[in-house]
Each structure stands twice: as C-alpha cells, then as structure tokens.
Amino acid sequence: QWSTAASLICMTLLINIHDFQDYGPYLNSVNGLFEDRGKHTYWKLEVRKPDGSIVVPDVGIGCYIPGKDEEIILNYSKY
C-alpha cells in the first residue's frame, strides 16, 4: 500500500527547473507554486541525512545524487 501512495505522490509532483550554466538545473516551481522574487520566496533544496541532520547541498536538484537513506526536502522558504 505504501508503494501505491508513494507513486501517487511522484506522479502528482510537477516540478519546473531552470538550467543555470554554473549550478545545473535549479528548481523554481512545485505543483504550480512558483518562487516569487517580489515576495522573496524560493524553493530551498535540503537533504536530511540518516542521522537526522539537515544540509543544503551546494548543487542544484538535477545534479544532487542522494546517498542511502537520505531524504530530499523541498522547503518553500522566504529570504
């Protein structure tokens, strides 16, 4: 049952990426919610390590290769 739910989430996750030369593909929308420079919002890519610590990778989502038991977090944040 869990795998059914997981694939449902994957199918409905619609992301939009923008390719920057020096950073690689960069996430700028998820399910129609775009980053907004006027409102200072953006999608922050975070990785939760198996030990529970959270790091922000220094590459874009298209270039990040997750390790075993890592979770990718798409955190809609303000700056």
Ligand X SMILES: *[C@@H]1O[C@H](CO)[C@@H](O)[C@H](O)[C@H]1NC(C)=O
Q: How far is the CB of 19 from ligand X (least distance, A)?
A: 24
Least distance from C-beta 77 to ligand X, angstroms?
5
The angle subtended at Cα 20 by Cα 17 and Cα 25, nearest 5°, is 35
Residue list 43-72, contact with ligand X (CB under 6 A): 44, 46, 54
Site string for ligand X, 6-45 (x = CB under 6 A): --------------------------------------x-
Residue 69: closest CA among 52, 45, 56, 55? 52
Residue 4 or 9: the one with the smaller Cβ distance to ligand X is: 9
Residues in touch with ligand X (CB under 6 A): 44, 46, 54, 73, 75, 77
